[in-house]
């Protein structure tokens, strides 16, 4: 046996090449293979077991009793062979019978052999068979021999798949290491349920050819792929398009480290030396790393290995010329998308009708992709560990973000439970949809205004589907978030015009961009000298827009042009002092004049509103009121500032209640002067989309709500069952003289007065 792994494997592969190229039957080839390997490894026994009908069947042997071929069968996990296949691991034992999983099969006559080494034959990450050698002497096989066996096993996987020797299911599906139903926990990023097949955002490459015809040509392919991959990573780092710092920077650093790692490149080169194609060599080295990794339990190292896996797939895709994402290939059926992380633009490339859910290994509540997925109505589960190992492409997936879990390869009973839960939700939605023509009027005849929050062009469809009164918050920054560069004024204008056209007579309130802070745009430079520690309280929204006049002017022009001939509603986010509102309004008015002087058609009317998100504004609302056409309370930001509690922090998510005395009293204080001045006041934060909270808001006199489209039905049902004068009086009493938490009191009140709370 040669002393280097590459030479050892090469010697065997050269001989295998002849066997494989011969026009003989698959069984004859397998018989040839066991003889070649047995001789090369100086082993009395060499056997091949293949997975057929769920069990491992002895297909070919040199050294064991011939009569055992196609007779000896082992279940997955049974005996040494079954253990290798089940765990997709290599065993190398000097005394086989001493291993706890050893199972003696008398028909094989194997009791004479002491040493045993076996490697899994892997197809698409799942063991489809086992290649084993045995020796009379009790000696462990050398590392070079094991390496050679593993390389041969790769070649065998091609042979047996092409010859149709293994289960269809095993060769066709991309089973992961785990099989059978599995429940994996995650973190709810966007609520909802969805079922479909697992599709990886970056699909795995299926390796068609394993044995190289021209070693030098394969080497050139790998060199070129390495160059290309390094370029890509340098570009990612220089454009910082990869993310928003923190975790991502670390990932990039690790990518760089591996991309330039000589050891990795050398091992791939050695695998090519042994006679493998470039693709097979990359995969072979990756397989070896995966096996080593399983022996290490250090989570930090596991993370780094995960990065190497990503990079290895990238290299494989480059070398195989398969660069597209799953979106570019098109979704063919209902899909649950799986990715380490996604950018909002990448998510938007998917066909919304077929995208039933997203599973991310990372992800956070405020990530752009989460905001966009919420707007698309796609449930998202984040922080799901180990997806590549636990889920395979094509697996059936049931995603239940509300339950913070995904079920992979569900049993029939699991499907039934899931379907029943989905059906309950669907029935409720259908009942709400049937009521879309009914006005949101309370029992005593008060007409409440229910509008929807939107941000994407397609969101306008929600108006017709829900029967909402208009768009109470159009988050214009979405277009900025999903663009690779600052959207040109014409592009902004086109979007605003399309939205207004689709809304028809119904009002649309455009909020000027709320970017900066955690919604940083890669193409917009920030204050490089200052890393924001509290981005939510940082240089964002109107603060940033007023400092960046060019940006605000372009948006003002785009909105004024799009609103030509109609009433335009403009709202400024994060107004903290009246002068900020005045300055923004003045900027819009200057643009309006400029357009007018050039004879451009203008809006019939421009109405200006402020978002109340910063508590300080409440204190000076009277000063701003005369110039204000309307006010919208952004309770998401407002409550985080009132309680000094980061709205994205999972540990604080349940700590403070929207129905607390402090928030409700604060809102009451804001509502009073607005009512006295006869000016509209709305709530456009998530709070308004929850029926009980919405009931409290209406009870405080906030009769305009802008909410997520899915909430329109439940909130309307609540409104239509509400006796408002009674609620007003009782809620006022609860707030004047609080006797304990408000939520249970309001729940009891709703139950007593027959209020429908879905």
- Closer CB to Mg ion, 211 or 541, in the complex: 541
Active site residue 248: no
Q: How far apart are CA 423 and CA 428, in angstroms?
A: 8
- Closer CB to Mg ion, 613 or 686, in the complex: 613
What's phi and psi for 126, nearest 5 deg?
Answer: -115, 145
Query: Is the separation of the CB atoms in 96 and 88 below 8 Å?
Result: no
Q: How far apart are CA 312 and CA 261, in angstroms?
A: 12
Q: Does 689 bind ligand PEP (CB under 6 A)?
A: no
Q: Does 307 bind Mg ion (CB under 5 A)?
A: no
| Alpha helix (H) residue ranges in 240-352 | 247-259, 262-273, 278-294, 299-320, 326-329, 344-348
- Closer CB to ligand PEP, 601 or 669, in the complex: 669
Q: Does 517 bind Mg ion (CB under 5 A)?
A: no
Q: Which of 232, 184, 395, 204 is CA-nearest to residue 310?
A: 204
Stretch that binds Mg ion, among 91-99, 585-593, 630-638, 694-702 (CB under 5 A): 630-638
* Site mask for ligand PEP (CB under 6 A), range 459-488, x = bound: --------------x-x-------------
- Closer CB to Mg ion, 218 or 637, in the complex: 637
Q: Which does 395 bind (CB under 5 to 8 A by kind): Mg ion, ligand PEP, none?
A: none
- Closer CB to ligand PEP, 19 or 380, in the complex: 380
Of residues 55-114, those binding ligand PEP (CB under 6 A): none
Stretch that binds Mg ion, among 67-75, 212-220, 527-535, 626-634 (CB under 5 A): 626-634
Residue 135 token pair: 């020796």
Residue 601 token pair: 């058609």
Q: Which of 156, 141, 133, 130 is CA-nearest to residue 13?
A: 156
- Closer CB to ligand PEP, 259 or 375, in the complex: 375
Residues paired with 200 in a beta bridge: 338
| Least gap, CB of 687 to Mg ion (angstroms) | 12
Q: Which of 344, 440, 487, 685 binds ligand PEP (CB under 6 A)?
A: 685
Q: How far apart are CA 388 and CA 339, in angstroms?
A: 9
Q: Which of 57, 270, 273, 514 binds ligand PEP (CB under 6 A)?
A: 514
| Least gap, CB of 513 to ligand PEP (angstroms) | 11
* Site mask for ligand PEP (CB under 6 A), range 434-453, x = bound: --------------------
Of residues 628-667, those binding ligand PEP (CB under 6 A): 634-637
The bridge status of strand 567-572 relative to strand 355-360 is unpaired
- Closer CB to Mg ion, 613 or 703, in the complex: 613
Stretch that binds Mg ion, among 420-428, 519-527, 581-589, 633-641 (CB under 5 A): 633-641
CB atoms within 10 A of CB 129: 28
Q: Does 688 bind Mg ion (CB under 5 A)?
A: no
Q: Which of 535, 634, 713, 714 binds Mg ion (CB under 5 A)?
A: 634
Find the Cα–Cα–Cα–Cα dihedral 340, 345, 347, 349, rounded to 10°.
-130
Q: What is the 3-state secondary structure (H, E, C) of 644-684?
A: CCCCCCHHHCCCCCCCCHHHHHHHHHHHHHHHHHCCCEEEC
Element spanning 718, H or E: helix 712-720
Stretch that binds Mg ion, among 196-204, 579-587, 610-618, 747-755 (CB under 5 A): 610-618
Q: Which does 670 bind (CB under 5 to 8 A by kind): Mg ion, ligand PEP, none?
A: none
Q: Does 364 bind ligand PEP (CB under 6 A)?
A: no
- Closer CB to ligand PEP, 127 or 633, in the complex: 633
* Site mask for Mg ion (CB under 5 A), range 318-337, x = bound: --------------------
Query: Is the separation of the CB atoms in 259 and 230 below 8 Å?
Result: yes
Choice among 248, 306, 368, 753 that is catalytic? 368
- Closer CB to ligand PEP, 509 or 722, in the complex: 509
Query: Is the separation of the CB atoms in 92 and 143 below 8 Å?
Result: no
Q: Which of 684, 696, 722, 750 binds ligand PEP (CB under 6 A)?
A: 684
- Closer CB to ligand PEP, 613 or 646, in the complex: 613
Q: What is the 3-state secondary structure (H, E, C) of 127-181?
A: EEEEEEEEECCCCCCCHHHHHHHHHHHHHHHHHHHHCCCCCHHHHHCCCCCCCCC
- Closer CB to ligand PEP, 417 or 648, in the complex: 648
Residue 118 token pair: 């076996």
Q: Which does 684 bind (CB under 5 to 8 A by kind): Mg ion, ligand PEP, none?
A: ligand PEP
| Least gap, CB of 514 to ligand PEP (angstroms) | 6
Burial (CB < 10 A; 0-12, 13-18, 19+), residue 571, is: buried
Q: How far apart are CA 109 and CA 523, in angstroms?
A: 71
Going by the DSSP 8-state scheme, the letter that residue 358 receives in this structure is E
- Closer CB to ligand PEP, 375 or 719, in the complex: 375
Active site residue 114: no
Q: Which of 243, 53, 333, 11 is CA-nearest to residue 149?
A: 11
Instruction: Count the site residues for Mg ion by CB under 5 A.
Output: 3
Going by the DSSP 8-state scheme, the letter that residue 245 receives in this structure is S
Q: How far apart are CA 393 and CA 30, in angstroms?
A: 29
Q: How far apart are CA 325 and CA 331, in angstroms?
A: 11
| Least gap, CB of 500 to ligand PEP (angstroms) | 20
Helix 5-21 × helix 262-273 angle, to 10° = 40
Query: Is the separation of the CB atoms in 527 and 489 below 8 Å?
Result: no
| Least gap, CB of 638 to ligand PEP (angstroms) | 6
| Least gap, CB of 697 to ligand PEP (angstroms) | 13
| Least gap, CB of 551 to Mg ion (angstroms) | 18
Distance in Å from the first CA to the final CA of the chain: 73
Stretch that binds Mg ion, among 415-423, 517-525, 600-608, 628-636 (CB under 5 A): 628-636
Of residues 555-614, those binding ligand PEP (CB under 6 A): 613
Q: Which of 504, 509, 442 is CA-nearest to residue 681?
A: 509
Choice among 201, 649, 684, 753 that is catalytic? 684
Q: Does 535 bind Mg ion (CB under 5 A)?
A: no
Residue 756 token pair: 């429908």
| Least gap, CB of 615 to ligand PEP (angstroms) | 13
Stretch that binds Mg ion, among 84-92, 358-366, 433-441, 606-614 (CB under 5 A): 606-614
| Least gap, CB of 518 to Mg ion (angstroms) | 11
Helix 549-562 × helix 578-597 angle, to 10° = 60
Element spanning 298, H or E: none
| Least gap, CB of 687 to ligand PEP (angstroms) | 8
Q: Which of 700, 695, 726, 722 is CA-nearest to residue 711?
A: 695
* Site mask for Mg ion (CB under 5 A), range 635-664, x = bound: --x---------------------------
Q: Which residues are catalytic?
A: 368, 684
Q: Point out which residues bind Mg ion (CB under 5 A).
A: 613, 634, 637
Q: Point out which residues bind ligand PEP (CB under 6 A).
A: 473, 475, 514, 613, 634-637, 684-685
């Amino acid at each position: 046996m040669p002393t280097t792994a590459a030479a050892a494997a090469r010697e065997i592969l050269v001989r295998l090449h002849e066997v494989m190229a011969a026009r003989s039957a698959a069984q004859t080839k397998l018989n040839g293979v066991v003889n070649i390997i047995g001789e090369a490894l100086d082993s009395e026994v060499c056997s091949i077991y293949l997975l057929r009908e769920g069990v491992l069947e002895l297909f070919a042997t040199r050294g064991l009793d011939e009569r055992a071929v196609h007779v000896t069968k082992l279940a997955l996990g049974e005996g040494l062979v079954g253990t290798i296949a089940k765990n997709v691991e290599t065993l190398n034992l000097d005394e086989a019978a001493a291993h706890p999983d050893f199972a003696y099969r008398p028909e094989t006559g194997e009791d004479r052999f002491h040493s045993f080494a076996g490697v899994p034959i892997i197809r698409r990450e799942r063991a489809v068979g086992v290649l084993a050698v045995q020796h009379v002497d009790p000696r462990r096989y050398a590392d070079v021999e094991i390496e050679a066996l593993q390389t041969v096993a790769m070649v065998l996987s091609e042979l047996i798949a092409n010859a149709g020797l293994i289960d269809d299911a095993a060769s066709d599906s991309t089973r992961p290491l785990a099989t059978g139903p599995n429940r994996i926990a995650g973190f709810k990023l966007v609520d909802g349920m969805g079922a479909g097949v697992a599709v990886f955002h970056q699909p795995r490459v299926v390796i068609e050819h394993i044995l190289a015809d021209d070693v030098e040509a394969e080497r050139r392919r790998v060199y070129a792929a390495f160059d290309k991959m390094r370029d890509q990573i340098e570009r990612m780092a220089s454009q910082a398009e990869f993310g928003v710092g923190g975790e991502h920077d670390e990932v990039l650093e690790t990518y760089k480290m591996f991309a330039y790692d000589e050891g990795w490149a050398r091992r791939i080169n050695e695998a090519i030396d042994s006679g493998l194609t470039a693709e097979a060599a990359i995969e072979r080295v990756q397989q070896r790393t995966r096996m080593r990794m399983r022996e290490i339990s250090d989570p930090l190292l596991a993370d780094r290995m995960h990065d190497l896996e990503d990079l290895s797939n990238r290299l494989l895709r480059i070398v195989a010329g398969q660069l597209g994402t799953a979106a570019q290939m098109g979704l063919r059926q209902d899909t649950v998308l799986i990715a380490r992380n996604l950018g909002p633009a990448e998510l938007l490339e998917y066909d919304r009708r077929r995208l039933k859910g997203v599973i991310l290994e990372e992800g956070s509540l405020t990530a752009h992709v989460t905001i966009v997925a919420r707007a698309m109505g796609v449930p998202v589960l984040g922080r799901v560990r180990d997806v590549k190992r636990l889920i395979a492409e094509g697996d059936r997936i049931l995603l239940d973000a509300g339950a913070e879990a995904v079920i992979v390869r569900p049993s029939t009973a699991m499907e039934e439970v899931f379907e029943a839960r989905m059906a309950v939700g669907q029935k409720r939605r259908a009942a709400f949809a049937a009521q879309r023509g009914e006005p949101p009027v309370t029992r005593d005849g008060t007409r409440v205004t229910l509008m929807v929050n939107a941000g994407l062009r397609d969101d306008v469809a929600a108006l017709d589907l829900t029967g909402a009164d208009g768009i109470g918050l159009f988050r214009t920054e979405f277009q900025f978030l999903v663009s690779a560069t600052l959207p040109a004024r014409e592009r902004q204008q086109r979007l605003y015009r399309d939205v207004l056209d689709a809304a028809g007579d119904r009002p649309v309130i455009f909020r000027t961009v709320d970017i900066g802070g955690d919604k940083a745009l890669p193409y917009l430079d920030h204050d490089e000298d200052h890393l924001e520690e509290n981005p939510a309280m940082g240089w964002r929204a109107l603060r940033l827009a007023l400092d960046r006049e060019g940006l605000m002017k372009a948006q003002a022009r785009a909105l004024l042009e799009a609103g030509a001939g109609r009433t335009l509603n403009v709202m400024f986010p994060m107004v903290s002092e009246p002068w900020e509102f005045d300055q923004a309004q003045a900027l819009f008015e200057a643009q309006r004049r400029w357009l007018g002087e050039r004879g451009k058609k203008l809006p019939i009317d421009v109405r200006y509103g402020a978002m109340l998100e910063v508590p300080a504004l409440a204190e000076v609302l009277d000063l701003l009121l005369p110039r204000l056409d309307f006010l919208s309370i952004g309770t998401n930001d407002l409550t985080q500032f009132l309680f000094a509690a980061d709205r994205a922090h999972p540990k604080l998510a349940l700590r403070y209640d929207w129905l607390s005395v402090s928030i409700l009293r604060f809102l009451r204080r804001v509502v009073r002067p607005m009512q006295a001045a006869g000016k509209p006041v709305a709530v456009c934060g998530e709070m308004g989309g929850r029926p009980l909270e919405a009931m409290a808001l209406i009870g405080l006199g906030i009769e305009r709500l802008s909410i997520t489209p899915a909430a329109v039905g439940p909130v309307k049902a609540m409104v239509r069952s509400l006796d408002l004068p009674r609620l007003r009086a009782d809620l006022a009493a609860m707030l004047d003289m609080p006797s304990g938490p408000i939520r249970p009191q309001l729940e009891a009140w709703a139950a007593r007065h027959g209020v429908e709370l879905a």
